[in-house]
Amino acid sequence: MRMVRYLASAVGVVMIVMLAGIAYAWRSQISPVDVPPASSFDAATIARGASLAAVGNCSVCHTKAGGEVFAGGLALPTPFGTIYATNITPDPETGIGRWSEQAFARAMREGVDREGRHLYPAFPYDHFTKVTDEDNRALYAYMMTRKPVRSETPPNELPFPINVRMVLAGWKLLFFKPGVYQPDSTKSAEWNRGAYLAEGLGHCGACHTPRNLMGAEKTDQLYAGGEAEGWNAYALNAASPAPVPWTVDSLTRYLSNGYEEQHGVARGPMAPVTANMGSAAPGDAKAIATYIASVMGEPSVERKARGEGVSKSPAAQSPGVLVQAAGSQSLPVTVDPKDPGAAIYAAACSSCHDAGRPVPYGGLPLRLSSATHGPTPMNPINVILYGLPAPEGERGPIMPGFAGTLTDRQVADLLAYMRKTFSDQPAWKDIEPLVADIRAGAKDTELHSLGSDGNAPANPTKRETSW
């Protein structure tokens, strides 16, 4: 009897919690509108929207391989299942053609669609919420003047209960802080512009901040380094692994060109970020660089000195540099012939990475690379296995992939050697199983880890400056 009463009251409590949750979770529908004619938007607003969309990387997620731009359908793998980016062209049936500006701005600010359903945070509205009304107006103008494309978005593949959108109300309650960016009056206008873009549209933290088990960014570890599509998105705070500390100038060059002389080329999911940034409004990359440099903080005297030492040391100090043309058997004197990694490096890598040819066409001396200094060997494994294929239609940095020539063991030996020789960091652990994992997982990765999209265009002047 007692048990029954207990159960009844427990059920009651659960009901009340559920009702409260539903009340909180419920969002009203915003009435559909007729597709606004392109003539209702002025050219300057559309152009501003184009630049903002570039910073927001909208096309990267909302376009599937070989598909029409913004027509959606790209599968975004998450630890919980697959979420498909939707069609955000102004098609009235399958896109957002019937969305009013108010509905669009609500999606950006609150992560709710026109019909009132909660959206998954794979759409980075936890960052886009910071976008101002004015900028949402420009983005809306830009989106509504794109070519409408009829294309149904495939249904998400998510397990119960995550497939119930109402559940997202709980997630939002715990992790989502809606609200426009609030400028910091103690900082410069440029810093504030950079913070607004990096924290908001640029959603840099979506990849560079680690996430908790619920998929939310850890607010106490901002920019401490995260993971994106099988790549390590390096720390951008004081823990930055870059051997030569980043500066406002070098960050500006990297973000707008996709490479930097002392840091190398942006690869993997960072490549489209920099490719897009190259077509954003002049000054935006520098503003973001100003903000990110302040997040990294002034490097210590020791770090600076170490950076100077590394960047000034002549190429001749690289152990592989004495290697002769490919095919020659003899090894440079500094290489330990008993170290299999050293022999592989000398034979397969040194001719490009120690030749002194500047990036992006030449390989970076690896003592300058964040890839040899990072906390995990994920990124160099990706690069070694799959190389840097030639970008389509333009000249670009090319590195052959070694997936077909090197075994997992050989890649692991090579990496152990590179870590020991080119960095002052502790040895990586368990490299070989990671190589095997990445090799096995690569074929499932539809995104930009592989293929020509994985390259930063080498020549920014050849880039499309408008969509």
Q: Rounded distance, CA 76 to CA 118, Å?
A: 17
How many chain residues bind ligand HEC (CB under 6 A)? 77
Binding mask 351-390 for ligand HEC (x = CB under 6 A): -xx-----xxxxxx-x--xxx-------xx--xx---x--
Residue 69: count of CB within 10 angstroms of its CB: 14
Residue 459: count of CB within 10 angstroms of its CB: 13
Site for ligand HEC in 273-312 (CB under 6 A): 273, 288, 292
Give the shortest CB-356-to-ligand HEC separation in angstroms: 12
- Residue closer to ligand HEC, measured from CB, 93 or 444: 93
User: Applying CB under 6 A, does 204 fall inside the site for ligand HEC?
Assistant: yes
Give the residue, chosen from 30, 46, 139, 310, that forms a contact with ligand HEC under the rule CB under 6 A. 139
Interface stretch with ligand HEC, choices 18-26, 59-67, 334-342, 427-435 (CB under 6 A)? 59-67
Cis peptide, bond prior to residue 183, ω within 30 of zero? no
Give the residue, chosen from 30, 61, 71, 342, that forms a contact with ligand HEC under the rule CB under 6 A. 61
Length reported for the chain = 467
Cα→Cα distances 312→309, 322, 370, Å: 5, 19, 17
Give the residue, chosen from 30, 96, 244, 295, that forms a contact with ligand HEC under the rule CB under 6 A. 96
Give the residue, chosen from 71, 122, 385, 438, that forms a contact with ligand HEC under the rule CB under 6 A. 122
Q: Would you state the structure tokens that stand for residue 316, as one six-digit string?
A: 């001749």
- Residue closer to ligand HEC, measured from CB, 78 or 177: 78
Q: What φ, ψ does residue 341 adopt, rounded to 5°?
A: -65, -40
Binding mask 324-353 for ligand HEC (x = CB under 6 A): ------------------------xx--xx
Q: Rounded distance, CA 266 to CA 259, Å?
A: 6
Nearest Cα to 71, choosing from 48, 90, 55?
A: 90
User: Applying CB under 6 A, does 176 fall inside the site for ligand HEC?
Assistant: no
Q: Would you state the structure tokens that stand for residue 58, as one six-digit string?
A: 């909208």
Residues 6+ apart with CB under 8 A from 88: 58, 62, 70, 72, 95, 96, 143
Site for ligand HEC in 223-242 (CB under 6 A): 228, 231, 233-234, 236, 240-242
Give the shortest CB-9-to-ligand HEC separation in angstroms: 36
User: Applying CB under 6 A, does 195 fall inside the site for ligand HEC?
Assistant: no
Nearest Cα to 380, choosing from 341, 339, 322, 343?
A: 341
Site for ligand HEC in 207-226 (CB under 6 A): 207-208
Residues 6+ apart with CB under 8 A from 243: 306, 307, 310, 311, 367, 368, 369, 370, 373, 423
Give the shortest CB-16-to-ligand HEC separation in angstroms: 28
- Residue closer to ligand HEC, measured from CB, 207 or 412: 207
Site for ligand HEC in 72-91 (CB under 6 A): 76, 83, 85-86, 88
